[in-house]
Chain A
Amino acid sequence: MNRWTEPDGIHIDVRGLQPPQPMVAILTLLRSVDDDRPVIVHLDREPQLLYPELAEIGWSAEIIDGEPGEVRLRLTRGE
């Protein structure tokens, strides 16, 4: 798992992790974010079970362009 910062937000790469480890890593990161920066998530596949958890803590997700074979999500606080 890699985590880094770029101008467009905080990135986390959870590719290669077994479920539910990607979800745990993402939610752990979101709990530590104390400003309005977006979080960019790099995944192997769409994290269907993550969406209800995001909704519960007030975060939204949108799919953005990524590398071939990658699912990339942009997570933002609020709607």
Chain B
Amino acid sequence: MKAGTKAGAARPKLAAGFLAGATSRLLPASIPLRYFGAAAVFHLAAWIALGAGAAGAPRFVGGLDWPLAALHFVTLGVLAMTAIGASLQLMPVATRQPVYSTRLPAAIWWVYTAGVGVTAVGMGIGAPLWLGAGAVAVVAGLIGYGVLTARNLAGARGMAGIVTHGWIALASLAVVVVSAVSLAFTYLGWPLFTRETALALHVPFAAYGFMGMLALGLAYILVPMFALSPAPDETQVRVSAALAALALLLAGAAAFGRGYAMPLQAAALAAGAGAVALHLRLVLLALRTGMRRELGRSFRLVRIAWALMVASLALALATVLAPDVPMLATLFGIVLVPGWLLTLVLGMMQRIVPFLASMHKAPGTKLPRTPSSLTADRPLAIHYACHLCALVLLVAAAIVDSSWLALAAAAVGTLGAAAFLAFFAILVRRMRLPPAPRTAVPPTAPVA
């Protein structure tokens, strides 16, 4: 940094409010918040659905029942819902392109949210027609989101590594949609692929492809932003993305490659492990070198999620090598979805939601709000303890094949989800109130 003197002072002209002009490239607060709110509600629904299907949960490997409903309340209702809300708000920051339309994200929310509810309930009560109707709405919502995101990515300037992650996630979404339609139509008697092939595509492309690539890509924005660290090395970000893309291609080939499935799956996992190792190296470096070292409970969840991401790959390898061990498939699903992805999303949401909400002015005032003033800490503390406890109980239920432990996990998880919903409701309520007068922080005080 060079210090010196330069002629020509700035000419003050516009004494605007705190967020003067900033709102022009922001979506209205109601759009991301409706996605986050729906995610908080579906999170609660997921744990309740798990409780309803606790008897079959410890050895669950598919089929219409409440464990399948719980799984999709999480994947579609929480993970994809949050990813859509967050990426609609954050992708324009990375790509320097505004969202093409503000009406379309609102319309997508209505279609998608209704679709998720009908799909998951259809799975739970074993009604293929409900499932089919809901799947049509879900697919329509995801296609609308895909079109919006593709337009944004196509005009992107800068941050090529993150944009690459976005494209891989969108390509994966296409595979997820096709395989999901095939699976849904299996129950109606019109499958596109065999159930085994559709599942072999659906699981890796939904978890590691669509959700995983969004999680990895958005982490390259969010982690440096919250840690206040330099942006990750662009070349390494692209190498990680390339390895992940290779892993997904190999997993896709394994779904069709009868006779070669095991070596292809093993190769996919090796490439995926390389992508994950590079990703973790970059984000952990950002955390180590950032101005803000203490990121609180939310990033403790994020770090746990990263450990579970690695564990999910190890368990995936175990299922490839020992496909006949009944516990492994369920354990892999638990570590993958509620373990890695749900924990990561909930940890990030605790920071993103107050942060994005604070970018919008309180009604009738120019005073800014701070993320901390919008955050209710006690519900988050309850959620933190309950979420981790529920995960441990769920893993134990799978290991010892106990429906009682699964029921206990569901009960504790429900309590945690209710606390998380309370955190969100309090935030929305505080957004409607005028902010308290601020006092300046002394210059020596830490930023965090």
Which residue of A21, A49, A59 is within 8 Å of B230 (Cβ)?
Answer: A21
Which residue of B9, B94, B229, B372 is within 8 Å of A7 (Cβ)?
Answer: B9
B325 within 8 A of A: no
B96 within 8 A of A: yes
Which residue of A25, A61, A77 is within 8 Å of B440 (Cβ)?
Answer: A77
CB distance from A76 to the nearest CB of B (A): 9
A68 within 8 A of B: no
Contact B447 A46 (CB under 8 A): no
Which residue of A3, A23, A61, A72 is within 8 Å of B228 (Cβ)?
Answer: A23
Q: Which residues on B sit within 8 Å (CB–CB) of A2?
A: 1-2, 4, 6
Q: Which residues on B sit within 8 Å (CB–CB) of A24?
A: 224, 228-230, 291
Which residue of A18, A19, A58, A62 is within 8 Å of B441 (Cβ)?
Answer: A58
Contact digits for B342-364, partner A, Cβ 8 Å, 1 yes 0 no:
00000000000001001100000
B235 within 8 A of A: no
Q: Which residues on A sit within 8 Å (CB–CB) of B231?
A: 18-21
Rounded to whole angstroms, the CA-CA distance of A54 and B159 in the bound complex is: 24
Rounded to whole angstroms, the CA-CA distance of A45 and B92 in the bound complex is: 12
Q: Which residue of B lies closest to A72 (CB)?
A: B10
CB distance from B36 to the nearest CB of A (A): 16
A57-79 contacts to B (CB < 8 Å):
57-66, 72, 74, 77-79
Contact A52 B445 (CB under 8 A): no
CB distance from A36 to the nearest CB of B (A): 9
Which residue of A3, A30, A52, A77 is within 8 Å of B3 (Cβ)?
Answer: A3
Contact B368 A57 (CB under 8 A): no
CB distance from A31 to the nearest CB of B (A): 6
Rounded to whole angstroms, the CA-CA distance of A66 and B227 in the bound complex is: 30
Q: Which residues on A sit within 8 Å (CB–CB) of B359?
A: 48-49, 51-52
Q: Which residues on A sit within 8 Å (CB–CB) of B437?
A: 79
B220-250 contacts to A (CB < 8 Å):
221, 224-225, 228-231
CB distance from A69 to the nearest CB of B (A): 13
A8-46 contacts to B (CB < 8 Å):
8, 11, 18-21, 23-25, 27-28, 30-34, 40, 45-46
Contact B13 A65 (CB under 8 A): yes
Knowing A21-B231, A57-B445, the reply to whether A8 touches B372 (Cβ < 8 A) is no
Which residue of A7, A60, A65 is within 8 Å of B368 (Cβ)?
Answer: A60
Which residue of A1, A27, A31, A64 is within 8 Å of B12 (Cβ)?
Answer: A64
CB distance from B290 to the nearest CB of A (A): 8
Q: Which residues on B sit within 8 Å (CB–CB) of A62?
A: 12, 14-17, 20
Contact A52 B225 (CB under 8 A): no
CB distance from A30 to the nearest CB of B (A): 8
Which residue of B158, B438, B445 is within 8 Å of A79 (Cβ)?
Answer: B438
B1-57 contacts to A (CB < 8 Å):
1-6, 8-22, 24-26
Q: Which residues on A sit within 8 Å (CB–CB) of B17?
A: 62
Q: Which residues on B sit within 8 Å (CB–CB) of A59?
A: 440
Rounded to whole angstroms, the CA-CA distance of A6 and B3 in the bound complex is: 11
Contact A52 B358 (CB under 8 A): yes
B296 within 8 A of A: no
Knowing A46-B22, A51-B368, A58-B439, the reply to whether A18 touches B158 (Cβ < 8 A) is yes
Contact A49 B18 (CB under 8 A): no
Contact B438 A58 (CB under 8 A): yes
B411 within 8 A of A: no
Rounded to whole angstroms, the CA-CA distance of A45 and B368 in the bound complex is: 20
Q: Give the interface centre of A48, A61, A64 by most chain B CB atoms within 10 Å.
A: A48
B186 within 8 A of A: no
17 A-B residue contacts at CB 8 Å? A2-B1, A3-B2, A3-B3, A4-B5, A5-B3, A18-B159, A46-B24, A51-B358, A52-B371, A56-B372, A56-B447, A57-B440, A57-B447, A59-B440, A62-B15, A78-B440, A79-B438
Task: Please list the residues of chain A having a beta carbon within 8 angstroms of any beta carbon in chain B.
Answer: 1-8, 11, 18-21, 23-25, 27-28, 30-34, 40, 45-46, 48-49, 51-66, 72, 74, 77-79
* Nearest 8 CB-CB pairings of A with B: A58-B440, A55-B368, A8-B9, A52-B358, A65-B13, A4-B4, A58-B441, A65-B11
